[in-house]
Structure 1
Amino acid sequence: MATTHLIKLSVGTENVDDLAQWHATKRAQTADGLPRHVTRMWPKREAEILNGGSIYWVIKGAVQCRQRVLRLDEVIGSDGIRRCAIVLEPKIIRTQSSLKRPFQGWRYLQVADAPRDLPEGRENEEALPVALNQALAEIGVL
């Protein structure tokens, strides 16, 4: 079976540490202690996502990290509407920075198009500033 990933904007997040802090706060509010992102739409490609897929986070215009998707849980909101809780592994894996234009909701991300994980020892590097990242991409360096 094939694997596919999700990609999502991390709105209001300044950097990967902010995302980690937000997840730590949300984890304290869940029964199993796992971070989750609740979304209105249920992925039709659920089996492919659960076959080793991750959610790639776009922070400040660039994909900067990912988290492995553990499961999808049904959540019924106080308004009675069914939603999907994307339950995530707590570990945040930093990736090579990859520019991404804004979009709404989440999108599928093919394995071949996903940024690579940063090598061992480079996980704590700050992402390149967006303008520099763009300039390097335009001349074909990234």
Structure 2
Amino acid sequence: MTDELRLAGVLVGGYGRAEDLPLLHEVRETDFDTACGLSEIPGTGADPAELRRWAQETDEPQYIWTDPALDQGLTSLALVALIRRFDAIELDQSLLRRADDPNRLDTAEPSALADDFERLGEPVRARRARRLHTALQDRLQH
């Protein structure tokens, strides 16, 4: 299953329209991988609130929307997603904890965000992301 297909399912589910559930179930049954990737879609009798809740609770980080948005020329949407992710990291650096060692941080994401901000012509935000990356690197070395 592609990331784009999963994101499309989450986007459709985010609108919470019960009439979209049959479509989502049909897509889910496309093949084994898709069935696994969309396995948590609410049942056919779900109400709109349940469908929206599923979409909101699906673990799809905001920044995952940036490449598809940029591919479609939707730079403002990509920028919003990047800003939200960067703000979340600035407020809660535990979001960078490594899965293999929760006591350590993975500092690659602020650097990648800086690159994305530069690509979008946002040098001030890029510098902020680089400063955060440097500060985290310095903290890890001490």
TM exceeding 0.5: no
State the TM-score, normalized to the length of structure 1.
0.23
Query: Which structure shows the higher helix fraction?
Result: 2
State the TM-score, normalized to the length of structure 2.
0.23
Query: Which structure shows the higher strand fraction?
Result: 1
